[in-house]
Amino acid sequence: MKLKEGIKEKNTVVKCGADLILPFAIVFGLCVIIFGTVSPGGGFQGGVLVASACILLWLGYGYGVTSKALSMELLETNEALGAIAYVLLAACGLFMGVRFCQNVFFDNGNVGDLISAGTITFMSFAVGYKVLTGIGVLLLLMFGMLAGEDDEEEEAE
């Protein structure tokens, strides 16, 4: 009972730690997504890193604030948008007369430039967007389940 009260009031140390780490986590995840094609990294990994900011928010402020700050329906819509963007970018190959998913528009800049890899870069962005919103929805669902369990225990007591 004591521990639950401590979690509900949110310890100042935990809150300040979450505040401190949150921007760095988001920026690092976005960096991994954006530079996926020129360095070790990629869409999936960066998306999960950005989604981990959700956990930091929950640790610092609890389920009420998190569910108000992040709309689950908006996240789902954006996940669908990411999937559509991936399929459209992959279909660029068909419009250019080569096979599906084949890389096109890659004749700009030197090797190692950010957009030198053509559609691969933008497909990586699309997958990163899709994964970060999708994992965010999953985490919000799990937080909702945990909050429901807490309420049940309180009612029982």
Pick between residue 20 and residue 88 the one whose CB is nearest to another protein: 88
* Residue 26: CB minimum distance to another protein, A: 20
Pick between residue 65 and residue 84 the one whose CB is nearest to another protein: 84
CA 128 to centroid of chain Cα atoms? 7
* Residue 23: CB minimum distance to another protein, A: 26
* Residue 40: CB minimum distance to another protein, A: 7
Pick between residue 65 and residue 141 the one whose CB is nearest to another protein: 141
CB-based contact 10:4 (threshold 8 Å) = no
* Residue 8: CB minimum distance to another protein, A: 20
Contacts of residue 146, Cβ cutoff 8 Å, sequence gap at least 6: 63
Alpha-carbon gap, residue 125 to 119, rounded angstroms: 10
Pick between residue 26 and residue 116 the one whose CB is nearest to another protein: 116
Alpha-carbon gap, residue 152 to 157, rounded angstroms: 9
The candidate with the shortest Cα–Cα distance to 123, out of 100, 107, 143, is 100
What residues line the site for another protein (CB under 8 A)?
36-42, 44, 76, 79, 82-83, 86-87, 90, 100-103, 106-107, 111-112, 116-120, 123-124, 127, 130-131, 134-135, 137-138, 141-142, 144-145, 148, 152, 155
Q: 28 is written with which tokens?
A: 């690092």
Residue type for position 21: I
Total Cβ atoms within 10 A of residue 96: 12
* Residue 20: CB minimum distance to another protein, A: 30
